[in-house]
Amino acid sequence: MNEERVYKVILGQHITEKSSSAGGGSNLVVFKVARDSSKSEIKNAVQKLFLVEVEDVRVVGVKGKVRRTKHGIGKRCDWKKAYVRLSADSNFDLAVIE
């Protein structure tokens, strides 16, 4: 994978109450990723950027919400998130991401 592409695949960590509780004891981290990225690209990007071993990647396409404003109906952008399961011996520090 191209070195430039590694930095464009991972857009940021997706922190919600649901993602925090899901990742509690299972080494699961949730990322917001580029819409055109594949599972193998996400796996390689996480391994190269954070120096951890990735076991599994699950990807979800999220539809943007439709919102009504005073100017009419608008739509938020569609986006993609990835659930990345790390190996048991991998140490992942959240301070690295921020």
CATH of the domain at 30: 3.30.70.330
State the residue range of the domain holding 13: 3-88
Is 73 inside a domain boundary? yes
pTM value surpassing 0.95 = no
What does 54-77 look like in DSSP terms, one character per residue? EEEEEEEEEPPPEEEETTEEEEPP
pLDDT tens per residue, range 37-82: 999 999 999 999 999 999 999 999 999 999 998 999 999 999 999 9
Cβ atoms of 11 and 31 within 8 Å: the answer is: yes
Residue with tokens 């699950």: 58
Position 20, amino acid: S
pLDDT, average across residues 70-96: 86
Overall domain count for the chain: 1
Residue 31 pLDDT greater than 70, yes or no: yes
- Least confident range of 9-13, 25-29, 33-37, 71-75: 25-29
